[in-house]
Amino acid sequence: MTGRERRRLNPNKGLLKVLERRVDVLVSRFLYPHLLGLWHPYSWLLPRRFSLAEISVSPGGWPKAVAPLKVLLISDIHTGIFLKPEVLAEIVISLMELEPDLVAVAGDAVTGQANDLDIFLSALAPLSRAPLGAWYCHGNHDYFDRDPEEIRKRLRWIGVTTLRNESVILTQGDGRFVLGGIDDRILGTPDWDRLVSEHGPPHLLLAHHPDFFYEAEAHGVALTLSGHTHGGQIRFPNGPPLVRQSQFCLDEGAYTYRSSLLIVSRGLGSVGLPWRYGADPEAILIEIIPPK
In whole angstroms, what is the distance from residue 73 CA to residue 55 CA? 11
Banded pLDDT at 268 (limits 50, 70, 90): very high
The residue-averaged pLDDT of 109-127 equals 94
Question: CB–CB of 240/7 below 8 Å?
Answer: no
Q: What is the third-level CATH fold of 15-288? A: Purple Acid Phosphatase; chain A, domain 2 (3.60.21)
| Residue 175: strand pairing partners | 172
Residue 249 has pLDDT above 60, yes or no: yes
Question: What is the CA angle 90-271-31, rounded to 5?
Answer: 105
Structure confidence at residue 34 (pLDDT): 60
Q: What is the pLDDT of residues 144-194, one digit of tens each?
A: 888 899 999 999 999 999 999 999 999 999 999 999 999 999 999 999 999
Structure confidence at residue 29 (pLDDT): 66
| Residue 262: strand pairing partners | 224, 255
Structure confidence at residue 240 (pLDDT): 80
Structure confidence at residue 9 (pLDDT): 66
Whats the size of the chain, residue-wise? Answer: 292
Cα end-to-end distance, the chain, whole Å: 21
In whole angstroms, what is the distance from residue 236 CA to residue 244 CA? 13
Closest CA to 75 of 275, 281, 287: 281
- Cβ partners under 8 Å of residue 97, min gap 6: none
Least confident of 5-9, 135-139, 225-229: 5-9
Tell me the domain boundaries of the chain.
Answer: 15-288
- Cβ partners under 8 Å of residue 226, min gap 6: 75, 106, 207, 208, 209, 210, 212, 213, 250, 262, 263, 264, 265
In whole angstroms, what is the distance from residue 201 CA to residue 220 CA? 6
- Cβ partners under 8 Å of residue 260, min gap 6: 59, 60, 61, 213, 216, 217, 221, 222, 223, 224
DSSP designation for 210? G
Structure confidence at residue 18 (pLDDT): 65
The residue-averaged pLDDT of 217-239 equals 93
For strands 282-288 and 69-74, give the pairing: antiparallel
For strands 166-172 and 175-181, give the pairing: antiparallel
Q: What are phi and psi of 121, to 5 degrees?
A: -60, -40
In whole angstroms, what is the distance from residue 102 CA to residue 183 CA? 20
Question: CB–CB of 268/74 below 8 Å?
Answer: yes
